[in-house]
């Protein structure tokens, strides 16, 4: 159950997800990114929202990361992995996460805690005028199937 991933590694990985979201916005994309770590904390998949680029309504960041992780591991089951997402997954992504068997999820923003600043980036807690956007890690769900946020509940 991902016990070997240290808090330090999770924080480093959150920075990777943030950098992906910022890069996506700089390339005229949306600020949605996701990365997947294996049990040891090694990056096995990453993705950004590419719906418009690929003309594919399922090319959300989480789905793109799942696709890459499955190719990387040569397995559709991602049991024991951790997903770090820049925002709260939509229903499509939530179901893909469950179907892949991802066991933990770290959300950098949830829909209740977000707002937009003048750069168009979705951020949490505060705005930043620097080129580096600061995200505040809001929740760490021990299990996406049992976890809950104070603002919403995952379906059982």
Closest to 88 (Cα-Cα) out of 70, 69, 115, 108: 108
Cα distance from N-terminal residue to C-terminal residue, the chain: 19
- The pLDDT value given to residue 26: 85
- The pLDDT value given to residue 134: 37
What is the 3-class SS of the chain, one letter each residue?
CCCCCCHHHHHHHHHHHHHHHHHHHHCCCCCCEEEEECCCCCEEEEEECCHHHHCCCCCCHHHHHHHHHHHHHCCCCCCCCEEEECCCCCHHHHHHHHHHCCCEEEECCCHHHEEECCCCCEEECCCCCCCCCCCCCCEEECCCCCCECCCCECCC
Catalytic residue among 7, 8, 12, 62: 62
Q: Is 7 a catalytic residue?
A: no
Per-residue pLDDT of the chain (156 residues; tens, 9 = 90+): 445 788 888 888 988 998 898 888 888 888 899 999 999 999 999 999 999 999 999 999 999 999 999 999 999 999 999 999 988 888 999 999 999 999 988 888 755 544 443 333 344 433 333 333 334 443 333 333 323 333 333 333
- The pLDDT value given to residue 34: 96
- The pLDDT value given to residue 112: 52
- The pLDDT value given to residue 6: 87
- The pLDDT value given to residue 145: 31
Closest to 32 (Cα-Cα) out of 70, 78, 88, 116: 88
- The pLDDT value given to residue 3: 58
- The pLDDT value given to residue 139: 38
- The pLDDT value given to residue 7: 82
């Amino acid at each position: 159950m991902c016990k070997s991933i240290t808090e330090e590694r999770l924080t480093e990985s959150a920075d990777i997800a943030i950098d992906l979201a910022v890069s996506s916005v700089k390339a005229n994309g949306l600020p949605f990114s996701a990365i997947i770590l294996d049990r040891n904390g090694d990056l096995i998949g990453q993705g950004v929202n590419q719906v418009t680029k690929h003309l594919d309504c399922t090319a959300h960041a989480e789905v793109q990361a799942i696709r890459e992780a499955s190719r990387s591991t040569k397995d559709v089951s991602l049991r024991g992995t951790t997903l770090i997402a820049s925002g709260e997954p939509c229903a499509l992504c939530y179901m893909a996460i469950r179907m892949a068997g991802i066991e933990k999820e770290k959300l950098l923003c949830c829909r209740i805690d977000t707002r937009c600043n003048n750069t168009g980036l979705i951020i949490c807690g505060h705005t930043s005028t620097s080129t580096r956007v600061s995200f505040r890690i809001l929740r760490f769900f021990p299990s996406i199937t049992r976890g809950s946020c104070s603002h919403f509940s995952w379906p059982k």
